[in-house]
């Protein structure tokens, strides 16, 4: 999308709008042609670009690790095998340091979360105009679409649907193991018998609704905070890249200054995308540890 043909506000709105498929007001289903149409499609709308990139990056992760596993030998590893073994050892150390119970699911889940979230975050380092412009060219050349109405976000973790989807999936697993390990009675007791306790039965009964309110809020807050932390950080990072990109059309001096800003922010953003993937993985491990820990 050529930012010189639109205002800065339209440029930002275009880059922050998903490629959306949903139901139009007349009842028909199809792709949204404007940001307003996408917003009106509501809850049942599908963000095609988020699904495309998240699934593609997940398959890329599976392909490289499967390839490394087939090449692994007892000798000294090299290349992709060496890198994959280093990642696996890093995840194994993280799991052993935070998870004390026995569950063969935790380490593979932690590895999947870390690599998958990292790859989705890594898409933020691709210049903001490259892939949307390619999508606009394809849409206009092969489908006769207005290039300004071709939306293509490339960072799945800037979409709250993706981050909440991952967080809810993780927490459903956590709830499953909480009930499996502790039983319905034990899980219910954790929600109603702490943090306030008393040896007096009457007082303890009074404490039950108070304890449940506090623990239920804490229970719900965990997946919400898990999703919003990743979304907020990545959305803010993407916004900064977009704002810097606007500077390239504000003259030579501003363009040069914007280039230095973009380089500096990209270098710093490498730390952010890695840290956010690590935090998401670590909190998942901690929540699984809490699910296996009986108070």
How many CA atoms lie less than 13 Å away from 186 in the CB half-sphere? 15
Least confident of 18-32, 171-185, 186-200: 186-200
Token code pair at residue 79: 């290349």
| Digit-coded pLDDT (tens) for 37-85 | 888 888 889 999 999 999 999 999 999 999 888 887 766 667 788 888 8
d(CA 146, CA 37): 15
d(CA 258, CA 64): 35
Which residues are CB-neighbours of 1 under 8 A, at least 6 positions away?
11, 14, 15, 129, 132, 133, 136, 147, 148, 150
| 56 in catalytic set | no
Q: Which residue of the set 8, 141, 218, 225 is catalytic?
A: 225
pLDDT at residue 190, as a whole number: 85
Reported confidence tier of residue 173, pLDDT bands at 50, 70, 90: very high
| 178 in catalytic set | no
Q: Which residue of the set 103, 140, 229, 249 is catalytic?
A: 229
pLDDT at residue 2, as a whole number: 41
d(CA 196, CA 201): 12
197 torsion bin: left (phi>0), alpha (psi -120 to 50), beta (else): beta
| 225 in catalytic set | yes
Instruction: Please give the full DSSP string across 194-252, using - where no structure is assigned.
Output: -SS--SSHHHHHHHHHHHHHHHHHHHHHHHHHHHHHHHHHHHHHHHHHHHHHHHTTS-H
Q: Which residue of the set 121, 178, 211, 233 is catalytic?
A: 233
| Averaged pLDDT for residues 144-149 | 79
d(CA 13, CA 39): 12
Could you tell me which of 80, 42, 88, 85 has the C-alpha nearest to residue 63?
80
| Digit-coded pLDDT (tens) for 75-92 | 666 778 888 889 999 999
pTM value is: 0.90
| Averaged pLDDT for residues 136-143 | 84
The full set of domain ranges for the chain reads: 3-292
- Helix (H) or strand (E) run with residue 47 in it: strand 46-47
> CA triplet 244, 248, 249: central angle to 5 degrees?
120
């Amino acid at each position: 999308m050529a930012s010189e043909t639109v205002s800065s506000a339209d440029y930002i709105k275009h880059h922050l709008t998903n490629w959306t498929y949903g139901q139009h007001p007349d009842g028909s289903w199809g792709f949204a042609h404007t940001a307003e149409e996408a917003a009106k499609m509501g809850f049942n709308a599908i963000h095609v670009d988020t699904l495309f990139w998240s699934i593609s990056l997940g398959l890329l992760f599976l392909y490289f690790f499967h390839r490394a596993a087939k090449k692994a030998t007892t000798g000294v590893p090299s290349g992709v095998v060496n890198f994959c073994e280093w990642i696996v050892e890093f995840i194994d150390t993280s799991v052993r340091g935070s998870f004390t119970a026995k569950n063969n699911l935790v380490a593979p889940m932690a590895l999947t979360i870390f690599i998958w979230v990292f790859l989705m975050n890594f898409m933020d380092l691709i210049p903001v105009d490259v892939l949307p412009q390619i999508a606009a060219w394809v849409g206009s050349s092969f489908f006769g679409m207005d290039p300004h109405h071709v939306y293509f976000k490339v960072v799945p973790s800037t979409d709250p649907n993706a981050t909440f989807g991952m967080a809810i999936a993780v927490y459903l697993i956590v709830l499953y193991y909480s009930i499996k390990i502790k039983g319905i009675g034990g899980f219910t007791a954790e929600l109603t018998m702490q943090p306030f306790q008393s040896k007096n039965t009457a007082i303890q009964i009074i404490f039950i609704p108070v304890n449940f309110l506090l623990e239920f809020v804490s229970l719900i807050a965990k997946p919400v905070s898990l999703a919003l932390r990743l979304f907020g950080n990545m959305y803010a990072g993407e916004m900064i890249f977009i704002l810097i990109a606007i500077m390239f059309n504000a003259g030579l001096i501003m363009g040069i200054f914007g280039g230095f800003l973009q380089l500096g922010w990209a270098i710093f953003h490498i730390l952010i995308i890695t840290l956010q993937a690590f935090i998401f993985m670590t909190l998942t491990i901690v929540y699984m540890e809490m699910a296996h820990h009986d108070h």
